[in-house]
Amino acid sequence: MTIDWTKSVVLVTGGTGSFGKKFIQMMLNEYHPAKIIVFSRDELKQHEMRVAGYDDPTLRYFIGDVRDKERLCRAFEGVDVVIHAAALKQVPVCEYNPSEAIKTNILGSGNVIDAAIDTGVKRVVALSTDKAVNPVNLYGATKLAAEKLIIQSNAYAAGKNARFSCVRYGNVVGSRGSVVPMFLKQRETGRLTITDERMTRFWISLEQGVRFVIRAAETMSGGEVFVPKIPSMTVADLAKAIAPRAQLEIIGIRPGEKLHEVLISEDEARQTIELDDMFVVQPAETLWFGREWENRGQHLPDDFRYASNTNTQWLTVEQIGRIIAPIEEDYNAGRLG
């Protein structure tokens, strides 16, 4: 069942982040919701958003933290759709501050679930990451736990309005904290540092990520993990696209970092349905989840694994250059950050 966005109240946790700002911009420009609420804990970032032009009459700015369930319940009153994007996502920060990552990414997600059920929210879409699959760092482990919380919460919401699903995708090109701004800065020195020439990553643009989340919100029945089909690139090719004449310095893989990323593991593949442009990971057999997706796509072959190094879609250096051109323009104009 689709969403009439013009009659919907939408709330975005982590609304001042890279994803949140792009989502809100596209909502205002294309979908025109009845109201959209920016929920975040940083008053300065909210002020900067408003000054930067995010001041539509339908916008509301709500100070709060996903760690605070009571505040979430207050914010969720009258809300139809929640996009849960709030998270601590920097791998080294999460490693050094594990309890803080757990409080935000796991306990905070639990609070979002409880608040949504208690206040009558209809749909919740939570953002996840490829690092949640076979995690090797705390960030990935917290996002895996958050995924499990979100999906299984549908069992508790059976008699309520709320339904919960996740979107899982790879690195967002040019997002806050990504490698692209770092490479652009290093280019000035003529030397770029990469961890391993063999390293591969899934990549998706911010706009593609937002559109995929909107699609998931519109098509979800509750309990799915939606995974887009997206291309891979090598980190070495990314460096060449940004600074073709720069020297590459190999510094070795950092703690908690993978050589290649996985979006769907072999074990998950057994309950995954493939469509033309995405995969839908269904929950294990449950009484509350229908299997309608099985009529829309096909099952995956045995031992299927959706990994960045065995992907069938690859970006060339030239294609990467075209993708990062607008990011480079924003960086040079001081708009990236």
Mapping DSSP to helix (H, G, I), strand (E, B) and coil, where does residue 247 land? strand
**Tokens 């700002």 — which residue?**
21
Q: Each residue of 263-301: b (16+ CB within 10 Å) or e?
A: bbbeebbebbbbeeebbbbbbeeeeebeeebeeeeeebe
d(CA 46, CA 44): 5
- Does 229 participate in catalysis according to the annotation? no
CA 171 – CA 180 distance, rounded (Å): 11
Whether 112 contacts 84, CB under 8 Å: yes
Select from 35, 30, 81 the least CA-distant residue to 217: 81
Helices (H), the chain: 18-26, 43-51, 69-76, 91-96, 98-101, 108-119, 138-152, 179-187, 206-219, 235-242, 266-269, 317-332
Catalytic entry in 131, 148, 160, 185: 131
Termini Cα distance of the chain: 37
DSSP character string of 297-311: SEEPPTT--EETTS-
Q: Do 192 and 239 meet the contact criterion of CB atoms below 8 Å apart?
A: yes
Structure tokens at 96: 């050094």
Residues 6+ apart with CB under 8 A from 173: 180, 203, 204, 205, 206, 323, 324, 327
* Catalytic positions: 131
